[in-house]
Structure 1
């Protein structure tokens, strides 16, 4: 039997008039992190929330998954972190009402080395979001900011965790899921202690869940036994439509709104909104 990992506190209530900043992160790749970011953002926008997705992954899959094409001289989150552009100036419309994106470019591959010698290197994103909120540009007022992190613990991810109110963890239903989750929780605890006392875990969402597979059921049971109600009731199933949607530059909710994957993300958005309302009422 695996040893339980420590849980984080419930968290602080949202700051009045400020967007709720959620870092979508997992140190392991291939867990549905980017898929969760773009489809959750779309689902939130569909219920009249205004959403900004910040793409901090050099692969830029969140950007292309929203149909935003890479351009050679496009300003991106790299330029924001380097202080060469303000966040509001790189944000682009996604084509989905109430959903915007700050795109990524391959320049982010070298960002960690360049950030190492810059002042407030772990707070570059936090400072940029603060400046964005102060500018109050038309159509740039957000209720949620989702930060899509790279699948590693580097300065890009640390910037996201330093800026975030909470972390949302996509967790693939596989054998080593709890080991990776334990490492991530330790990272959250370290960031909370040294960089961002507000940071907590908003929730863990089980992805690539296959009800025909006994392993998926066992992993779900193990994770819930360790983290309890930190794990969302909604699970994201293995679904071919979810896999197909990025090649069309669309979230699955636009590609096939009726499929089981789309419906799962709609339920997840509702569950997150309920949790946020409970925090406000606390």
Structure 2
């Protein structure tokens, strides 16, 4: 199963959700790959991998498929183990930003799909973190994936962007990946005591959009896990937000099983 976490709006928790769902997957015994396509490398950093070291990264993978490597490497050469059993990262690199135009001009959007297909027997689950815009890397991820989910941070501007996001993704699905499934919207940074989040969730449901039952609440523990570069399922498995990620992961797994 290859799943994309995508929203065109920044600051909604894509990297946090991607890394913690991947960590929960690994903690449940699934050999899990986290692919980081954002040049900022937040999910790479979160999982304890240094994007500025000398190791190979997803940027090198794209350079190779574009024909810029004299000696081709197997897809596994670009993957790093983490300190957490079962969790692996295909790390980002700042040079992704510089590569984008050249890759787009050469129409290499299908190369991520081809690479992940070669790795299919290596991993049980793949989570893909994307940049906060509908660019080459987001499109490559959506073409490569089986499904996508959308983080929503209970901001009025976020709900205005949902329709545009879905229009973009569904058009790409029609053209390039007809089997891509929209799994639903993840409510992130939820404050149960505030009136606006409840109203906004009601507005999403009124649009007949799928919204996951499990919400991710606001907590300083998330920031602590960022600073310690340790996803919550490994840092504090019994914390309430770790349990929320566990329940969200179970909801995703149940939906996947039901759809088969």
Contact 1:232–1:268 under 8 Å retained in 2: yes
Does residue 1:131 correspond to 2:112, yes or no? Answer: no
Contact 2:3–2:127 under 8 Å retained in 1: yes
Q: Give 1:264's match in structure 2, choosing from 241, 244, 251.
A: 244
Contact 1:173–1:216 under 8 Å retained in 2: yes
Offset at 1:116? 2.6
Offset at 1:72? 3.8
Contact 1:188–1:199 under 8 Å retained in 2: no
**Corresponding residue number in structure 2 for 1:146:** 127
Which whole-Å CA distance do the structure 2 matches of 1:173 and 1:259 have between them? 22
Structure 1, unpaired ranges of 5+: 1-19
Query: Any idea what the Cα deviations from partners look like across 1:118-159, whole Å, max 9, x if unmatched?
Result: 2x41111011112223xx5xxxx2121111000011101110
Offset at 1:252? 1.7
Offset at 1:86? 3.9
Structure 2, unpaired ranges of 5+: none
TM normalised by structure 2 equals 0.93
CA RMSD, aligned part only?
A: 1.4
Q: Structure 1 residues 86, 104: closer, same or farther in 2, change over 3 A?
A: farther
Contact 1:52–1:144 under 8 Å retained in 2: yes
Query: Any idea what the Cα deviations from partners look like across 1:33-92, whole Å, max 9, x if unmatched?
Result: 000000011111122222100000000011110011123432110111222444311111
Q: Give 2:165's match in structure 1, choosing from 184, 203, 207.
A: 184
**Corresponding residue number in structure 1 for 2:216:** 236
SS in 1 for 2:88: strand
Does residue 1:97 correspond to 2:85, yes or no? Answer: yes
Q: Give 1:255's match in structure 2, choosing from 235, 246, 249.
A: 235
Match runs of 1:4-19 below 5 Å: none
Contact 2:184–2:211 under 8 Å retained in 1: yes
Offset at 1:223? 1.4
Q: Structure 1 residues 132, 206: closer, same or farther in 2, change over 3 A?
A: same
Which whole-Å CA distance do the structure 2 matches of 1:61 and 1:179 have between them? 25
**Corresponding residue number in structure 1 for 2:187:** 206
Q: Structure 1 residues 86, 226: closer, same or farther in 2, change over 3 A?
A: farther
